[in-house]
Each structure stands twice: as structure tokens, then as C-alpha cells.
Amino acid sequence: MKNILVLCTGNSCRSQMAHGYLNHFLSNSEATVYSAGIETHGLNPGALAIMKEDGISIDHHTSNHVDEYADVNFDYIITVCDHANENCPYIPSKNALRLHHNFFDPSKVEGTEEERHTAFLKAREEIKEYFKAFVKTYF
């Protein structure tokens, strides 16, 4: 069984969506998925809603700080935003493969409800495709 950490700035949106897709694409016997932030901002309602539209509930997730997982030996550490990648604390996991992809941040979009929905949809689809390819490549 592999341990996967998805790391973002606030563990509220992009890392939560990635966590949801990894749980969806992988079985519990293949991997344990963790998501965390270098800060904690709580779950973003837009992320909850856009994932629910794709049939994936992340309502039970919590916003966690990366320090909570200091004792976990990760096989994969995936940063999903440049800020987390540049400011990530040292995570002492032996031989962890570290990957980075800066996903579009829908939480920064202001505008109409339709414009915000479009932003979350764009981010969700980017994240979904990336993590589908990740699972195909590494599992």
C-alpha cells in the first residue's frame, strides 16, 4: 500500500479536489490518500459543490496542516500550487517521489455565479485529468 500526500497552500480547494479524485480512482488497498496545506483555510464551498456535480462527495474531508502528518512515510508528495511548492516545509519521507503541477485557482475568481462556476469547473477538469494520468502511470 502506498501513501500519497497532496499539498496546497490552504487545503481548501485544489488539494481537496485532488484527494477526492485519488480516492475515486484508487482502491483502499492500493493507497491511502492524505491532503494538507502549509496553512488551513477550511473547505471551500465551491469545491464541495463542483465535486458533487461529478458524483464525488468530499463533504467529510477536513482541512489539515502538513505538520499533522510528520510521522507518515509518503511514497508520493504532490504539490498542486506554486506557493506550496515554493514554501513547502521539509517532509522527511524516504524515497518519496515529489511531483508538482500548478493548477488554476478557482477560489480567486470574482464575478457572477456563472463565472465562478465556470472557474471551478475548469479547475476540476484539470485536476481530474492530471490525477487520472497519475494513477495510470504509477499504479
Q: What integer pLDDT is reported at residue 37 of this predicted model?
A: 94
What value does the mean pLDDT take over residues 9-18? 96
Range of the domain at 83: 2-138
Cα dihedral 43, 9, 39, 58 in deg (nearest 10) = 20
Please say if 88 is a catalytic residue. Answer: yes
Tell me the CATH number at 87: 3.40.50.2300
| Catalytic site residue from 2, 25, 88, 138 | 88
Question: How many angstroms separate the CA atoms of 79 and 99, rounded?
Answer: 6
Q: What integer pLDDT is reported at residue 85 of this predicted model?
A: 86
| Catalytic site residue from 17, 18, 47, 81 | 81
| Catalytic site residue from 4, 8, 33, 78 | 8
CA pseudo-torsion sign 59, 61, 88, 131: negative
Please say if 8 is a catalytic residue. Answer: yes
pLDDT digits (tens, 9 = 90+) for 24-69: 999 889 999 999 999 999 999 999 999 999 999 999 999 999 999 9
Q: Number of folded domains in the chain?
A: 1
Crossing angle, helix 45-53 and helix 14-25, to 10 degrees?
Answer: 30
Give the percent of the chain with pLDDT over 90.
88
Chain centre to alpha carbon of residue 121: 15
Q: What integer pLDDT is reported at residue 86 of this predicted model?
A: 87
Q: What integer pLDDT is reported at residue 128 of this predicted model?
A: 98
Q: What integer pLDDT is reported at residue 95 of this predicted model?
A: 86
Please say if 81 is a catalytic residue. Answer: yes
pLDDT digits (tens, 9 = 90+) for 74-100: 999 999 999 988 887 677 777 899 999
Helix (H) or strand (E) holding 114: helix 113-138
What value does the mean pLDDT take over residues 125-138? 98
